[in-house]
Chain A
């Protein structure tokens, strides 16, 4: 059973649709009570970092989520801004992030390799996983995913980088540490590549 955190941000229905098509049970959680029994959690997110953190705090689900992820070690997948929220902080805002993966979210505009490229980084790009297991099982070298973002995750520990994508230079497009996973791209809108990844998450 996959539980998708519904705190008003991100394309909840797109995730539900993917799982429904593959007969994998999925539901949403809007309250701490609904989240409490979850065994696998997706944290979606769009828009500004502070706004997303604020909405998550206001949803009343933060404590239950901390308990699930930090105490009960339930696998969690942050998507797009949901991935950025796993970091300590972000160039985009003042609020602290969840801090579950050591790192900082940086603006592409402050990163030299992207200086002369269009921002946001938007469209289909290659994703090169560091390992063909776990989330990236059966996603070989031609895997590509849809991106739409202006900030990216800078990991403090190189071993937490789980995939890179090229934009001016390689940046971390997937991060992971123990039961915590994050992808910058949108698997829910990335055709069969994204479906594979979401099914892999269900099988972790």
Chain B
């Protein structure tokens, strides 16, 4: 059966890896290439690397870093940060990355989703929405959660799907770095909104949190930052991943997966 994906998400800031809390207070946790090597050995399902500086600084994607990551990475790799055009997406895919992720570009210029899908194939275009809960629902923010778009998750997800996105990732700003569990209501809402594959990020602090997400959404991507870079109650930095036996156990506990669409 198709398995849920358990995906480390790494943030790049000033050339190093960091982990944030509610999109702020970046703490240095290591070197990107070293982390990739560890996740190779642990046979992680896939890997997401997001450059959290590029869009904020208006800079080009760091092609040298991407090329180095792609050469090292033995699992599917998704890269995001600073990608605005189909040409950039094509160049990045050409470096040996499986997927590109776009966020602010998908809001500012939704047509770029279609152009990227034409250029690199829809399956390689992952659209990422960072959201905050509000009285209106889930509001989408860009530029590391510093810029409100005024748009609600519902409309941007529908639009991204119709324009040719291959996957949607939703990132909860409220839950980022909290390690108290995913926002399951958010996950459920996204599952209702789209028939695309989906990934949820923000809040995972334990394997139980991942299990609860899988029970809620079925075959889903469970992405996590803190869970895979910290260990223990004092958040000691230790790049880690679950072993194959634990992963199998997590998946075996899955009831017949409720992957059906509404």
Say yes or no: A124 contacts B123, CB within 8 Å: no
Q: 18 interchain pairs (CB within 8 A)?
A: A13-B71, A17-B74, A46-B124, A47-B119, A118-B197, A119-B195, A119-B196, A120-B122, A122-B123, A122-B166, A123-B2, A123-B45, A124-B5, A125-B2, A148-B99, A148-B124, A186-B76, A186-B98
Task: Identify the A interface with B (CB < 8 A).
Answer: 8, 11-14, 17-18, 46-48, 81, 116-126, 144, 146-150, 166-167, 186, 189, 191-192
Interface string of B232-262 (1 = CB under 8 A from A): 0000000000000000000000000001110
How far is A12 from B96 in the complex, measured between Cα atoms in Å?
7
Assuming the A-B contacts A14-B96, A119-B195, are A125 and B74 also in contact, with contact meaning beta carbons closer than 8 angstroms in the complex? no
CB distance from A138 to the nearest CB of B (A): 17
Task: Identify the B interface with A (CB < 8 A).
Answer: 1-5, 43, 45-46, 70-71, 74-76, 93-94, 96, 98-99, 118-124, 166-167, 194-198, 219, 221, 259-261
Residues in A whose Cβ lies below 8 Å from that of B260: 116-117
Give the residue of B70, B74, B98, B219 whose beta carbon is less than 8 angstroms from that of A148.
B98
Say yes or no: A123 contacts B3, CB within 8 Å: yes
Give the residue of A118, A149, A191 whose beta carbon is less than 8 angstroms from that of B74.
A191
Say yes or no: A149 contacts B96, CB within 8 Å: no
Say yes or no: A122 contacts B96, CB within 8 Å: no
CB distance from B140 to the nearest CB of A (A): 21
Say yes or no: B3 contacts A144, CB within 8 Å: yes
Interface centre among B96, B118, B119, B260 (most CB of A within 10 A): B96
Say yes or no: B1 contacts A118, CB within 8 Å: no
Say yes or no: B123 contacts A148, CB within 8 Å: yes
Say yes or no: A120 contacts B74, CB within 8 Å: no
Question: Considering the complex of A and B, which 3 residue pairs feature the smallest CB-CB distances, nearest first?
Answer: A47-B121, A120-B123, A191-B43
Say yes or no: B1 contacts A166, CB within 8 Å: yes
Assuming the A-B contacts A13-B70, A14-B96, A117-B260, are A122 and B197 also in contact, with contact meaning beta carbons closer than 8 angstroms in the complex? yes
Give the residue of A12, A81, A189, A192 whose beta carbon is less than 8 angstroms from that of B76.
A189
Closest partner residue, chain A, to B42 (CB atom) = A191
CB distance from B87 to the nearest CB of A (A): 14
